[in-house]
Amino acid sequence: MNTIAERAGFTAPAVFTWVAMLGFGGIAVETIVIYPNVFHDAPASLTLATEFFSVTGPADFFPPMGAATIVACLVALVAAWRVAPARYWLLAALGSLVVGEFLFSMVYFWPRNDIMFEEGIAVHTAAFLQATADEFQTGHWFRLAMSGFTATAGFVAALKAHRRLVEKGAERVAQAV
């Protein structure tokens, strides 16, 4: 029989993986389905996208999703801290999440969002807006890769924690016999 702490050391990384995979799926859908429509004919498509996302859009989903992913990763780290292989993968996931997704978004994407969707054609030429849209899409592939790494690292951490849970259970059975 495994202790509650040992079970939590597996369950929390598994929950984090689920949350990270949801975030990765959202970014993948954004990349494959939404962005081709948003950026295909800047600045006209940027204007249409702004109108389309007037009720709700990616900016309404990704900040809370990112916060939930960071919290889930921190909880998983605390719960699985004693499982060194899981801990290292969770630290890698957290680093990827914070640096590769959050900080990169803040430094790279937020200024481009302002240029394309706030300032737009009133401030910039159509050629500049198209170039900014192209830069945005290129950088977005890096963000997608980092999100994929975050989810994968969480999955590996959950596997490592599960193996440790099974080993502990097997040790207890062997001692009882």
Listed by start position, the domains of the chain span: 4-176
pTM: 0.90
Cα–Cα distance measured from residue 167 to residue 57, given in angstroms and rounded to the nearest whole number: 45
Answer whether 99's CB lies under 8 Å from 46's CB: no
| 49, pLDDT greater than 60 | yes
So what's the pLDDT on residue 175? 82
pLDDT digits (tens, 9 = 90+) for 16-30: 999 999 999 999 999
| 1, pLDDT greater than 70 | no
Could you give the percent of the chain with pLDDT greater than 70? 99
Q: What is the mean pLDDT of residues 115-123?
A: 95
Q: What is the mean pLDDT of residues 29-50?
A: 93
List Cβ neighbours of 148 (8 Å cut-off, separation of 6 or more). Answer: 24
List Cβ neighbours of 147 (8 Å cut-off, separation of 6 or more). Answer: 20, 23, 24, 27, 100, 101
Cα–Cα distance measured from residue 42 to residue 62, given in angstroms and rounded to the nearest whole number: 23
Cα–Cα distance measured from residue 29 to residue 57, given in angstroms and rounded to the nearest whole number: 13
Higher model confidence: residue 172 or residue 46?
A: 46
Q: What is the mean pLDDT of the chain?
A: 93
Q: Which of 69-73, 96-100, 165-169 has the lowest mean pLDDT?
A: 165-169
Answer whether 153's CB lies under 8 Å from 96's CB: yes
